[in-house]
Amino acid sequence: MTGAPSTLVISLTPFDEHDRLDVEAFRSHLRRMRDAGIGVYVGGGGSGEGYTLTPAEAFTVLRIAAEELNGHVPVRAMGVEPRSAKEMLELGAVVADAGLDSMQVYSLDTGHGRMPRADELETYFCDILDDLPVKAVLSTHQSVGYWLQVDSLRRLVDRYDNIIGINVTNPDIAYLIRVIDAVGDRIEIHVGGAMQGLTALALGANGFLTSEANLAPKLTQSVIDRWSAGDLHGAADAFARVLRLYAAMAAVGGVSGTKAALNQLGLPGGYPRKPRLAVPPEWDERIRELLVAHDIRSLEGLAQ
């Protein structure tokens, strides 16, 4: 493993009741992440609702993240799955202008379920990495319907010193092991989602990405802190709580439920933006019970 163990939250993006980017709520949310000591990805296509952002909003999100987080915790742009290298390079220019020094480079999504050939994918990444103005974290993610060949990843890491990490989202543990064994001694490796978090750490990866930390950043960061301190029992206990929180939030709308939960706690969550919808009002009591059952106020040091 290169670098220290770590976890990064895929930050949500708050919108107000009029569907506008809520700048002050976003700043407050990022400060809460910063105070918990957790790394942050912004503008992602999942929790960050990145597909709904206009170019101007995307720049604002990146600029605010740079202002609030640079020099405090790791902060990176995420973006959304592209249709071409040109799209990633355009995002890279915006990331640099906004004041961030690194970004995730998603795998290519050519549409209609088409899976690019290995040589097409290597060319795609080389076209980006030849000219990218910031550091890159490559993504091999099940969302595009395929995973990058390990030999291709090795060749890219051999060729480009601006690659600082790989985010692996794949249920196949054998694939994760091959990636770690191929390049994990030279760059960071994180798994997407908390599900494989402790497994990844045990295998020599750096850690995991998570959406649950939007609601419980201190709890999520405590998995890493306890692991690093050699408190394996404590790390396992905290990790189990994170996974139970993941299952609970998935049952109440994912990021829409997370925003509703934050609002109930008096924290900056805001509203989802279409095509996502706010959770039905009849779910409010379910979410309230969830917060009590998982002891979120106590775990996060919030007023009762």
Q: What DSSP string runs through 77-144?
A: E-----SSHHHHHHHHHHHHHHT--EEEEPPP--STT----HHHHHHHHHHHHTT-SSEEEEEEEGGG
Distance of CA 53 to the CA centre of its chain: 17
Q: What is the residue-level pLDDT of the chain in tens, covering all 304 positions?
A: 889 999 999 999 999 999 999 999 999 999 999 999 999 999 999 999 999 999 999 999 999 999 999 999 999 999 899 999 999 999 999 999 999 999 999 999 988 888 999 999 999 999 999 999 999 999 999 888 899 999 999 999 999 999 999 999 999 999 999 999 999 999 999 999 999 999 999 999 999 999 999 999 999 999 999 999 999 999 999 999 999 999 999 999 999 999 999 999 999 999 999 999 999 999 999 999 999 999 999 999 998 7
Spatial separation of the C-alpha atoms in residues 201 and 194, rounded to whole Å: 11
Q: Where are the domains of the chain?
A: 6-229
Q: Shortest CA distance to 211 belongs to which of 21, 77, 42? A: 42
- What pLDDT is attached to residue 142? 86
Spatial separation of the C-alpha atoms in residues 126 and 36, rounded to whole Å: 36
CATH code assigned to 6-229: 3.20.20.70
List CB contacts of 46: < 8 A, sequence separation 6 or more.
Answer: 10, 211, 255
List CB contacts of 12: < 8 A, sequence separation 6 or more.
Answer: 29, 47, 48, 49, 211, 214, 255, 258, 259, 269, 270
- What pLDDT is attached to residue 304? 73
**Count of CB atoms within 10 A of residue 23's CB?**
14
- What pLDDT is attached to residue 303? 80
List CB contacts of 271: < 8 A, sequence separation 6 or more.
Answer: 14, 15, 16, 17, 19, 259, 278
